[in-house]
Amino acid sequence: MRVVKLYIGAGLLALMLMGCQQTISERPPTFDELMALADKNLAKTDLIKSYIYSQKDGVGFQNVMAQAETGDTKAELMACYLLITGTGVEENDSLGYNLCQKAAEKGSAPAKANLIYRDFNDDPEHMNWQETYDAFEDMLKSDPSIAHRGMQFLYRQNHPKASGFMMYYHLNQAIKYKNTNAMLALSEIDLHTRSKRNQNPKRAEKNLKRAYRLNDFDAGFKLALEYREGRILEKNTAEYVSMIKHMAAFLHPQSMGELASIYQTGTGAEQDDDKAKALYSQAAKFGHPRSQLIVARELLFGPVDSRDYPTGVRYLETQAENGSIEAMTGLADHYAGPEIDDPENKSVIWLSKAAMLGDESSQERLGFGMMETGYIEAMQPYIQVLETAQKTGSPDASYLLARHYRAASGVPRDLLKAKSILDEVEYLNDPRITQEADIIEGYISHFGSIEAVPDIINL
Q: Please report, in tens digits, the pLDDT of each residue of the chain (459 residues total).
A: 344 455 554 333 333 333 333 344 689 999 999 999 888 777 889 999 999 999 999 999 999 999 999 999 999 999 999 999 999 999 999 999 999 999 999 999 999 999 999 998 888 888 899 999 999 999 999 999 999 999 999 999 989 999 999 999 999 999 999 999 999 999 999 999 888 888 999 999 999 999 999 999 999 999 999 999 999 999 999 999 999 999 999 999 999 999 999 999 998 899 999 999 999 999 999 999 999 999 999 999 999 999 999 999 999 999 999 999 999 999 999 999 999 999 999 999 999 999 999 999 999 999 999 999 999 999 999 999 999 999 999 999 999 999 999 999 999 999 999 999 999 999 999 999 999 999 999 999 999 999 999 999 987
* Cα(187)–Cα(328) distance, integer angstroms: 33
Give the residue numbers spanning the domain of 390. 372-459
**8, part of any domain:** no
Burial class (CB in 10 A: 0-12, 13-18, 19+), 224: buried
**397, part of any domain:** yes
**212, part of any domain:** no
Burial class (CB in 10 A: 0-12, 13-18, 19+), 430: middle
- Domains held by the chain: number: 1
**425, part of any domain:** yes
**455, part of any domain:** yes
Residue 138: DSSP 8-state: T
**132, part of any domain:** no
* Cα(89)–Cα(385) distance, integer angstroms: 37
Q: Quickly count: other Cβ atoms within 10 Å of residue 20's Cβ.
A: 8
Q: Which helix (H) or strand (E) holds 16?
A: strand 15-17
pLDDT at position 25, please? 62
pLDDT at position 22, please? 38
Q: List own/partner pairs for 169-178 with CB under 8 A and 24 or more apart.
A: 173/144, 173/148, 174/144, 174/145, 174/146, 174/148, 174/149, 175/207, 176/148, 177/10, 177/144, 177/145, 177/148, 178/10, 178/145, 178/214
How far, in Å, are 35, 227, 242, 287 from residue 253 at the CA level? 22, 19, 16, 7
What single letter denotes the amino acid at residue 102? Answer: K
Q: Classify 114 in phi/psi space as left (phi over 0), alpha (psi -120 to 50) or beta.
A: alpha
Residue 198: DSSP 8-state: G
Q: Quickly count: other Cβ atoms within 10 Å of residue 160's Cβ.
A: 6
Q: Quickly count: other Cβ atoms within 10 Å of residue 112's Cβ.
A: 24
CB 335 within 8 A of CB 346: yes
CB 74 within 8 A of CB 39: yes
3-class SS of residue 264: helix
Distance between first and last Cα of the chain: 45
**347, part of any domain:** no
CB 233 within 8 A of CB 200: no
**410, part of any domain:** yes
